[in-house]
Structure formats: C-alpha cells, structure tokens
Structure 1
Amino acid sequence: MLRASATATFLLACLLFGRPALAADRYFVTSDGVRLHYTEVGQGRTIVMVPGWTMPAWIFDRQIRAFSRFYRVVAFDPRSQGESEVASSGHDPWRRGQDIAELLEQLGPEPVLLMGWSLGVLDSLAYINGHGDRRVAGLVLIDNSVGEDPPPSGSGSAAPRRRGAPPTRAERMRAFVDGMFTRPLPKSYLERLVEACLRTPPAAAAALLSYPVPRTFWKEALYSTSHPVLYVVRPTWAGQAANVAQRHPNAETVIMQGVGHALFVDDPDRFDRVVTDFIRRRVWP
C-alpha cells in the first residue's frame, strides 16, 4: 500500500475542515547521513513539534492547522518515524537531541518554541541537555515524565497469560494506538496511524523505549533552562507537575482530565487554547 506524504495528509485534512493552507515537505541530511523529513506551513515565529514513540508528525494535524494561522509550524518526523529515513543506528537520546539541533540549524537563527509529546518530551530535553537553550524561546512538554518525583509506577501485577498464539506486532501496535484515545475516532484514521507506527523497525522501537540514562538526566535538563515551560499532562503525572510548578521558577502546569495519552487529539480545543494562551503571555507577548 502506498503511503500518502505528510503534506498530502495535511492538505486533505485542510479540505475536510475548511482550512486553506500551503504545506511543504522539507528534508535534510544529518551529520551521520540520515535523511530526515519535516512539514512546514505558516509564517512568523517558529513552533517545532516533536511526536512520540514511533509516531508520525501528522498526529499533530489539528495543532498544525490551528497554530499555522499565526506562526510558522514545523512538524518533525524523527529518524525511523513518519516520512524520515529508517536509520540503522542513532536511536538514543544523544543522537536524537543532535537531530533536533541540526533541524534547528536548517530553520534559521531565531529561537523556536519546542513542543514535544511523549518520547518527544525526552528528545526535547535531550536536545537541551546536549546543546543548551540558546535556540529555544520556550518549551511545551506533553504527557510524559520529566524525571521529577514521584517516579512512574509499575503495573503492580503481571499481565494475565493469553491463550493461543501470542499477538503479532501489528496487533500489539493496534492495541497501543487504540489505547491512546478516550474519544472514538474513525477506523481509517486509526489504521493509518498503526501503519505509520509499524514503519519503525522492531529493534529501533525497542531501543527508543530504553534510553540508557538515569531519570536525573531529564530533570537536570528541565531545570537548566530559565525559559518559559508549559507542562501539560493527564492526572498520571500530577505529582510531577506539582513539583515542576513549585521548583521551576518559569514553569506552568496544566492537568487535563478525561483524555488519553494523545490528549491534544482527544480535546484539541482545550489543548490549543492552553498553548495559545501560554505563548501569548509568556513566550512571544
């Protein structure tokens, strides 16, 4: 099956939702020779969006359309995800942070708002850890641990044994994707998302789930920046959010109720309002 380009996906959504826009596919080659993709649309100050584990950047479709009315939006496909090249190596925080650094070099000298979701939170903090915050005007960190207390809790019990053949990788990914949302979504959308996620090879996907750094790596990166930070999470991370709000002098936190892990898809109106308000008050008044 042929995969639609990120731009084609975005333009189709614009037609469906009545939002005229011009989006462009862009590519660059990293210093270790991997061809990476991003979609660019809009003008003005730059927002860079970094998706989660195995996810394509077009999962931010609603935010791309909303924020490109006022800003230049860059939706990034990390290596081995989305329209970017499947890489044989570099699925670690140091290389992924370097990839973001090299992306920012492509975009010009002005500081950007860096918005990371799930694994994109860690990749964004890896960038800060390795390169500082000179190129960052602010951070939006969405629904993942930032190394604060309390640490993520385990499941507490072993998963029940399943009778019969073990699930296939496609079945596991489909269950993972279905579990990210609380509101019903079209089957075609979910299947397209599963197909995109399966493009990340098993070895790369496993490496991305086991970054070999202590939790303090993320916390130190977060507290090393004095720029505005917005931490938007579900109640799962409420304890960490409370500590971030107390300990980071320039951080704001928002707890979103009744949403899944892809909270910006489940409740895009509220998410977009929260981020827009943060940008206009704290990042680019």
Structure 2
Amino acid sequence: MTNGKYIEVDPGVELFVQDVGSGDPLVLIPGWVFSAKAFASQVEHFSKTHRVIAIDPRSQGRSTMSLQGNDYITHGKDVTKVISELGLKDVTLLGWSFGCLTVWEYIRQNGTDNVKAAVIVDLSPKPLSRDDENDWVEGPLEEIAGAYTQNLRNPEGQRAFITEYATEVMVQRELTEDELQWIIEEALTTPYYIASNLFAAGMFSDYREEAKLLIEQVPTLTIAAEHWSETARSFMQRISPEARVEILGGHLMFWEHSDKFNEILEGFLKNDA
C-alpha cells in the first residue's frame, strides 16, 4: 500500500496509516488482528472522491506490537490521536468487526461533534449475551469461552481458529489456497498472547448507548452479514428505531463482494452522509 506514514500514539508505539486521495475524510478501521490491507478495494475506489485514512490498529499489521493498550479503550484513544495529528474535520468513521468497537469508543470519548457519518460493518455493539436467540451476538457464551481458553493459548490454536473462521464465517464461497493463506498470515501478524487480550476486550464490550447516540445524532449505516440477517436488523432497531441496516454476504463481504459493498457505501456517502 502506498502513501503510508507512521504516527506515534504513545511513546514507542506507532500506527501505520495510509493517507490517500483528497476530499471529505473517510477513516477505515479493520477488525480483530487484521490490517487495513483488507480494505484495498475500498481504498482504491473511494480515494478518487475522498481523503481515505486506512489505519493498522495498535499491535496489528504494520503498527507497533505493544504489550500495553491491547483493548478498545486504548484503540479509541489511538484513533483520536491520528485524527488530531492529521487535522481531520467532519470525518466519516467506518469500522469492520471489532473495529466497530473503536468507532463506538471514539464516540464515548469525544462525542459526535467531529463526526459527519458512521458505517458499522458486521458487529453488534454488545457481542456477548446469554440471550442467544434474541440478541445479536458473536456466538454462544460457551463457544466464545472455549475459543479464549483453548484456541488463543498458542500459535497453533490461533491458526486453527482463524482457519475455521475464515472458511465458515468470513466468506460464502470456497477460498483458494492462496486466499486462505493470505487471511491466516494477516491474522497471525498479531501474536496469540496479544490476540487473546483483544478478543476478550472485544467480547466483554457493551456499546449500546454509544450505538444509539451515533444513530440518532449522525447518519449511520450498519451493514450486516447474511447469516445474521433479521437478527441484526431487529437488534439494531431495538437500540434505535431509526437504525438503518443493509444485508450483504459474509463477515468479509467488502472483500468478497467488493463491487456491491462499494456501491452501497457510495450511495450512503452521496445521499445520506
């Protein structure tokens, strides 16, 4: 990725940030253990009309691997520093997966004054609940606990977890060997002992208040995977009747169905944001 720079967010901790294009700022925040490389199609497409800021979060991708701050409170502070350092005004924030937690945490810390619009890609503001049938959750409590206590204890377990998630949840078609290897290598850039911290921090989050605030104060679009479908829609509309939800593909829909995703996002940015 070109036009990359490093921005120091804490002493000894730098985030890799791609800054490309001009116009209204669109800030892209990837999910758990991924880098902004996942957004390659969106960077290419939207940098023609926007200033696109694609961030590798702390301990992910090309950013510094840090033993401190591997939680979404700190990730929110990090994004605040990036936005301030780059002098961004009236930003559109787009978070994917646990990157949505960073968006909501930014709102918790800063309010909506500097936010023009927001896009939430496939994550509930409360990822874990005992009410598996009516709440939009990442999985049953026992399954999530098993992933944390068993898979994310060593590199082999982390690799197995990512492989299963990539093939069963992230995409709808069969991945090629090269594609699967790319996803695994992206995820394993973050060591298992940091990945487990981020996993737990994300699962125990509750940003329902911030999600409601965001929906009611700025144009906000939620794009959920087809396997959530009506569960995601009904959950978000319980948070706020004004919630707008689109349904597309699997968890990695913006990569697998990039043209359709970009079309949905472009329509939102043109007509609503």
1:94 maps onto 2:73 in alignment? yes
1:236 maps onto 2:223 in alignment? no
What is the CA distance between 1:266 and its match in structure 2? 1.8
SS at match of 1:38: strand
SS at match of 1:134: coil
1:223 maps onto 2:212 in alignment? yes
The separation in 1 between residues aligned to 2:224 and 2:183, in whole angstroms, is: 22
1:35-50 equivalent positions in 2, closer than 5 A: 35-50=14-29
- Provide the TM-score with structure 1 as the length reference: 0.80
Correspondence for 2:181: 191
The separation in 2 between residues aligned to 1:56 and 1:134, in whole angstroms, is: 27
Match of 1:57 among 22, 29, 36: 36
- Matched-pair identity in %: 28
Specify whether residues 112 and 155 from structure 1 end up closer, same or farther in structure 2 by C-alpha distance, changes over 3 A only: same
Matched to 1:26, the amino acid is: K
What is the CA distance between 1:62 and its match in structure 2? 0.9
SS at match of 1:232: strand
SS at match of 1:209: helix
Correspondence for 2:140: 154
1:248 maps onto 2:240 in alignment? yes
Larger fraction in helix: 2
Match of 2:165 among 154, 173, 176: 176
Specify whether residues 237 and 103 from structure 1 end up closer, same or farther in structure 2 by C-alpha distance, changes over 3 A only: farther
SS at match of 2:69: coil
What is the CA distance between 1:61 and its match in structure 2? 0.8
The answer to whether the Cα contact below 8 Å between 2:211 and 2:239 also exists between their aligned partners in 1 is: no
Greater CA radius of gyration, 1 or 2? Answer: 1
The answer to whether the Cα contact below 8 Å between 2:75 and 2:102 also exists between their aligned partners in 1 is: yes
Specify whether residues 130 and 237 from structure 1 end up closer, same or farther in structure 2 by C-alpha distance, changes over 3 A only: farther
Correspondence for 2:251: 261
Specify whether residues 280 and 264 from structure 1 end up closer, same or farther in structure 2 by C-alpha distance, changes over 3 A only: same
Matched to 2:222, the amino acid is: Y
What is the CA distance between 1:73 and its match in structure 2? 0.9
The separation in 1 between residues aligned to 2:182 and 2:239, in whole angstroms, is: 40
Match of 1:203 among 182, 189, 193: 193
What is the CA distance between 1:184 and its match in structure 2? 3.9
The separation in 1 between residues aligned to 2:204 and 2:157, in whole angstroms, is: 31
1:262-281 equivalent positions in 2, closer than 5 A: 262-281=252-271
Number of aligned residue pairs = 253
Hey, which bits of structure 1, 4+ residues long, moved more than 3 A?
Answer: 155-159, 166-169, 212-215, 245-251
The separation in 2 between residues aligned to 1:43 and 1:196, in whole angstroms, is: 28
The answer to whether the Cα contact below 8 Å between 2:208 and 2:239 also exists between their aligned partners in 1 is: no
The answer to whether the Cα contact below 8 Å between 1:227 and 1:250 also exists between their aligned partners in 2 is: no
The separation in 2 between residues aligned to 1:192 and 1:37, in whole angstroms, is: 19
What runs of 5+ residues in structure 2 fail to find an aligned partner?
128-133, 147-154
The separation in 1 between residues aligned to 2:46 and 2:241, in whole angstroms, is: 26
- Provide the TM-score with structure 2 as the length reference: 0.83
The separation in 1 between residues aligned to 2:102 and 2:25, in whole angstroms, is: 18
The separation in 2 between residues aligned to 1:212 and 1:82, in whole angstroms, is: 18
The separation in 1 between residues aligned to 2:242 and 2:92, in whole angstroms, is: 15
The separation in 1 between residues aligned to 2:9 and 2:111, in whole angstroms, is: 19
